[in-house]
Amino acid sequence: MNAATKTIPVNRDVKAELRRQAEELRQQFARHGTLVINVLSSPGAGKTALLEATAKHWAGQRKMAVLVGDLATDRDAQRLAPHCPVEQLTTGGACHLEIPLVKQGLEKLGSDDFDFLFIENVGNLVCPASHDLAEHLRVVLLSVTEGDDKPGKYPKMFRTSQTMVISKLDLLPHVPFSVDAAIEDARLIQPELTTISVCSLNGDGIADWCDYLDECRQSLLSPLWTTDPHSTAQ
């Protein structure tokens, strides 16, 4: 005789527990006044260069830190170390960061007294799109050398981002890339996308980018501040 079977209804996202942890951490950061920014792109689009330029622009006027994810090496962390606190998260081959690795990185940073915490994700326009890292803002970089047709090819990445930074603007005269076409393609997927164009090497657009981050910190976090955060608005 067959053993009886029973169907147990579950109906939940497989990532529900990780999402819960991310939400808890996001609220904790918000209460401390730390805006968390998940920075994503394909490899070599200029994530580290953007963060270097950001740190140089602020020049200590904002407290920023970076958690940087890579499959191997600490090269990006070495580049950023002269400018701000940084911890390398080495995934050991995994193609994306997940919340437990972010938590380890936070412990190593040893402080949560930051205005801005950047999480530089593994260079990849696919898998990282599916993983909530407790960010308040998801920023995808698209460099002009990649082509203006990329948003439609990686819909989840652009759909889940709030901001698109078009990078390497200085190369625009040399490549067949239309900024307008890239923005139009991305906004078909994410109509509310904010777009900013920068050249991290010569500093073009970096002031706009930094002003935008200040505005985001104010608008996204101030309703949640429980005490006076370590405000930059002196």
Partner 1 sequence: MHEASLVRSLLRQVGELLVEHGGESIVTIRVEMGPLSGVERPLVEIAFAEQVDSTPCRGAELKVEEVPLSAICRECGNEFDIERFRFVCPACESTRVRVISGEEFRLLDIEIRQPQTESVSREQP
Closer to partner 1 by CB, 189 or 201: give it.
189
Residue from the set 87, 98, 120, 132 that interacts with partner 1 by CB under 8 A = 98
Residue count at the site for partner 1 (CB under 8 A)?
34
Long-range contacts of the stretch 82-87 (C-beta < 8 A, 24+)? 83/52, 83/55, 83/56, 84/55, 85/109, 85/111, 85/114
Residue from the set 61, 73, 78, 130 that interacts with partner 1 by CB under 8 A = 130
CA-to-CA distance for 95 and 121, rounded, in angstroms?
Answer: 9
Q: Is 127 one of the binding residues for partner 1 (CB under 8 A)?
A: yes
Residue from the set 63, 83, 96, 168 that interacts with partner 1 by CB under 8 A = 96
Q: Is 71 one of the binding residues for partner 1 (CB under 8 A)?
A: no
Is the dihedral angle over the CA atoms 115, 210, 232, 217 positive or is it negative? negative
How many CB atoms are located within 10 Å of the residue 17 CB?
11
In the block, tokens 């689009």 appear at: 45
Residue from the set 92, 110, 191, 223 that interacts with partner 1 by CB under 8 A = 191
What letter does residue 2 receive in the DSSP assignment?
A: P
Q: Is 175 one of the binding residues for partner 1 (CB under 8 A)?
A: no
Shortest Å, Cβ 170 to partner 1: 31
43 conformational bin, left if phi > 0, alpha if psi -120 to 50, beta if neither: beta
Which of the stretches 5-13, 65-73, 111-119, 222-230 binds partner 1 when contact is defined by CB under 8 A? Answer: 5-13
Residues at the site binding partner 1, with contacts judged by CB under 8 A: 1, 3-15, 17-18, 94-96, 98, 126-127, 129-131, 152, 155-156, 159, 187-191
